[in-house]
Amino acid sequence: MLRQIITIFSICSICLIGHAQSSDDYHLDKFENRISSMQKLIKTDLENGFIELEQLLKEAEKNNFHDSELTLLANKCWYFLKKADLLNVRKSAQILEKKAVEYNKPIYQAKAFTYLSQSYLDTELENEAIKYHNDALDVLKKIPNPSKEVYESQANAYIYISNLYYRKKDYKTTIKKLLLANESYQKINDLEARNRLQYLNFSNIGTVYSEYKLDSAKYYIEQSLQLNPDIKTPNFTQFLNYSILGDIAKKENDFQKALEYYAIAEILYPNSGDLINLESLYKGFIEIYQEIGEQNKAKNYEAKLKEIQLKIYQNKYDSVHEVLKETKKENQQKNYLVYGLIALIILIISSLIFYFSRKKKSKNLLDDNSLNLIELVKKNDPGFMFLFEKEFPNFISSLLNISPDLSKTEQEYCAFIKLNLSTKEIAKYKLVYPKSVQNNKYRIRKKLQIPTEIDIYDWMNQI
């Protein structure tokens, strides 16, 4: 099961390069201490920490504490990323980038680009994600006399983009990116800081190796644990380390050992942890309890899993919903002539859809929500799957119960079939050859074990 690789923009480091502020040093020092306290709080109490962050940000802007303001804006990006609120990650990163240019602080511009890269990556817009990743590296390479924070930001950029290849199951490229991050860490002179960062990245590397090379996975997880053996204090990296050790034991059919590791991981999970990895942990519990016949315990974790998945989908849906609301507001600012043209186009499209839906007897009549989803498909809108899952909340989960290895692309094609889109329509909207669509349908039919005598559209309509 794929986990999210740790993304480690350090919430606990303040980089105040100069004291060119309008207040005296004493006032600034007190303000820095308050930022440090907030950063400790937000790691354990996300929401109250954010309230404090917002107050500090207002004060930094009012007092022209430029470096503090940039630090707090970067922390704000981190907060929204933890919440999977991708729209606000993007908004905050854009503000950070603009302010970094205004204050001539390129390292924060690079951080903004890296957060933008992650926000696009999480909405599966790969080209935009890679572009901002490269922009971040270009900015960092031009900084003369690079500091610890430059090397750390460089490593972060590699770790963030490694998630792209990890999700595509290109594990060798993922490892290359993580090793590039390690090379950046090796350039840091501060041994304590270097060990702290490598402790995190060894865990990343072990996570990837756990997918295909268990001995290497164990080696890197052990390297991470040697740098921090503490298993009493909630800590996301330790949580991930023991989750991975549980996964490895499960693959080796040592279920008792796997449950022991998973139990430690669950205790170590912090309030500010990543929901995707907690989702993976619960799936691991469920698989083992089902395997050893303890159905009551399996059901207990199934309930926890549904709660986590609901939070994940809700956060993503809310982000996309806000984007659609903003688009609607922008459209309302256009003149009446544009509205008339849009209305005419909608009328023509609706007429065509009505005509063809009557002509295709094999298809069910589509409701308004389905038509709206089809419009998103036509636009190749990244929000399509989030809104589809909102309209058909049990559809994808039912398919995954039958075939857990359905890829994201195959899930999307299943959604197209559910909406009764023909092979030619899918090919047209996805800009691929009809043969490619047919091949995807064949793989889906095979994975879901749909009998050849049953029409795939009829089958999907029963789910």
Gyration radius of the chain's alpha carbons: 24
**Which residues have C-beta within 8 Å of that of residue 78, sequence separation ≥ 6?**
9, 11
pLDDT digits (tens, 9 = 90+) for 137-148: 999 999 999 988
**Which residues have C-beta within 8 Å of that of residue 100, sequence separation ≥ 6?**
70, 106, 107, 108, 109, 111, 112
On whether the CB atoms of residues 419 and 377 are closer than 8 A, the answer is yes
Q: Which two tokens stand for residue 447?
A: 């994975």
pLDDT digits (tens, 9 = 90+) for 239-280: 999 999 999 999 999 999 999 999 999 999 887 666 778 888
CATH class of 364-463: mainly alpha
The Cα 113–Cα 119 span in angstroms is: 10
The Cα 382–Cα 376 span in angstroms is: 8
How many residues are recorded in the chain?
Answer: 463
On whether the CB atoms of residues 394 and 313 are closer than 8 A, the answer is no
Give the residue from 415, 390, 382, 413 showing the smallest Cα distance to 313: 390
Is the C-alpha dihedral spanning 211, 215, 219, 222 positive or negative?
positive
The Cα 178–Cα 159 span in angstroms is: 6
pLDDT above 70: residue 314: no
The Cα 243–Cα 140 span in angstroms is: 34
pLDDT band of residue 351 (cuts 50, 70, 90) is: low
Give percent of the chain above pLDDT 70: 81
* 216 φψ region: left (φ > 0), alpha (ψ -120 to 50), beta (else): alpha
307 compared with 2, residue with greater pLDDT: 307
pLDDT digits (tens, 9 = 90+) for 395-425: 888 898 888 888 888 999 999 999 989 888 8
pLDDT of residue 392: 87
pLDDT digits (tens, 9 = 90+) for 53-62: 999 999 999 9
Q: Which two tokens stand for residue 180?
A: 């590039």
On whether the CB atoms of residues 304 and 282 are closer than 8 A, the answer is yes
pLDDT above 70: residue 71: yes
Q: Rounded to two decimals, what is the model's pTM?
A: 0.55
pLDDT of residue 347: 57
The residue assigned the tokens 């008792």 is 256
Q: How many CA atoms lie within 13 A of 385 on its CB side?
A: 15
pLDDT of residue 215: 93
The residue assigned the tokens 């669509």 is 437
pLDDT band of residue 95 (cuts 50, 70, 90) is: very high
Burial class (CB in 10 A: 0-12, 13-18, 19+), 180: middle
Give the residue from 164, 250, 178, 182 showing the smallest Cα distance to 207: 178
What ranges do the domains of the chain cover?
A: 230-324, 334-361, 364-463
Cα dist. 155→125, 197, 206, 347 in Å? Answer: 22, 9, 17, 52
* Average pLDDT estimate for 39-46: 85
* Average pLDDT estimate for 99-110: 94
Q: How many CA atoms lie within 13 A of 457 on its CB side?
A: 12
The Cα 414–Cα 426 span in angstroms is: 11
